[in-house]
Amino acid sequence: MIGLFDSGLGGLTVSREVLRQLPGYDTVYFGDTARLPYGSKSPEVIKRFAVQGTDFLLSHGAKAIVIACNTMSALATDEVRARAKGVPVFEVVSPAVQRAAAVTGGRVGVIATRGTINSNVYVEQMAAHAPKVKVHGQACPMFVPLVEEGMARRPEAASIANEYLRPLRLRKIDTLVLGCTHYPMLKSVIAKAAPGVRLVDPAQETVASLKRYLKENPKFAAGLSKTDAHKFFVSDLNPHSQKLASNWLGRDVLLQKASVENARALSR
């Protein structure tokens, strides 16, 4: 079972990639919709939530964990790894940095939550990986609510995107990392606001790295269940999210309500 978790439904962009790139593998998803957004919360709180999400996935039999959230990847990867005790953990930031470094002419923009931008994780990882590449970050706090409210195709989304991307256009970026797992849902709006700029989707890169790992570790891959079963849990549920989730994944999705508070007991 591959476990994925996010603050809300945005991590389903990563689940969608698992379905596409690794068809047949069973998955369990947890979206912490009751406590979304994470992007404006303090690192301490995000770390605590990330540990609870990890316990929840382990208690549901996850044998590999994907942190399907840039904010948690930026701020809590070490905590998730420590908690996962040997279960391999995949995060979304480094695969995106590697891809951006490979395709850019030298000017990369990163759009993300405030938490991710303030963590400086993209600037630091790029400096270590490709020191000549300049990275310009832009927090886009309105994007997550637009996506969670199913407003990605509304004209308001286009004008907000235009506003957020103006500073990056002025910096003449040639590549743009969609540094939040919700943002691929706004891909066409973002592409219009950044004409001629190459978009990097961390969801695609992360699942590609998981796929490589499975290929390089065939014994481990053989131990993962493969019955095309998928479970989706959220910490708060409304009929609206049920519909959105099914639309995004292009299949009927049954979201089930679950609490993460007592997951630790279950995972023991």
Catalytic residues: 69, 180
Q: Which amino acid is at 209?
A: S
175 binds ligand DGL (CB under 6 A): no
116 binds ligand DGL (CB under 6 A): yes
Contact 150, 246 (CB under 8 A): no
Give the residue from 189, 124, 177 showing the smallest Cα distance to 152: 189
CB of 105 to ligand DGL, least distance (A): 26
Q: Which two tokens stand for residue 13?
A: 């962009």
Instruction: Single out the residue of 22, 110, 160, 180 in contact with ligand DGL (rule: CB under 6 A).
Output: 180
Distance CA 204, CA 18 (A): 9
Identify which of residues 117 and 133 has a Cβ nearer to ligand DGL in the complex: 117
Give the residue from 137, 203, 198, 202 showing the smallest Cα distance to 165: 137
206 binds ligand DGL (CB under 6 A): no
CB of 7 to ligand DGL, least distance (A): 3
Contact 146, 157 (CB under 8 A): yes
CB of 248 to ligand DGL, least distance (A): 13
**b/e map 118-143, b = 16+ CB within 10 Å:** ebebbbebbeeebeebebbbbbbbeb
CB of 67 to ligand DGL, least distance (A): 9
* Site for ligand DGL, residues 36 to 55, rule: CB under 6 A: 36-39
137 binds ligand DGL (CB under 6 A): no
Instruction: Single out the residue of 181, 204, 235, 241 in contact with ligand DGL (rule: CB under 6 A).
Output: 181
CB of 190 to ligand DGL, least distance (A): 14
Distance CA 35, CA 21 (A): 30
Q: Which amino acid is at 132?
A: K
Instruction: Single out the residue of 15, 104, 113, 209 in contact with ligand DGL (rule: CB under 6 A).
Output: 113
Instruction: Single out the residue of 3, 4, 5, 6 in contact with ligand DGL (rule: CB under 6 A).
Output: 6
Q: How many residues bind ligand DGL (CB under 6 A)?
A: 17
Other CB atoms within a 10 A radius of the CB of residue 59 amount to 19
Give the residue from 147, 116, 112 showing the smallest Cα distance to 31: 147
Length of the chain (residues)? 268
Identify which of residues 78 and 228 has a Cβ nearer to ligand DGL in the complex: 78
75 binds ligand DGL (CB under 6 A): no
* Chain residues in the site for ligand DGL (CB under 6 A): 6-8, 10, 36-39, 69-71, 113, 116, 144, 180-182
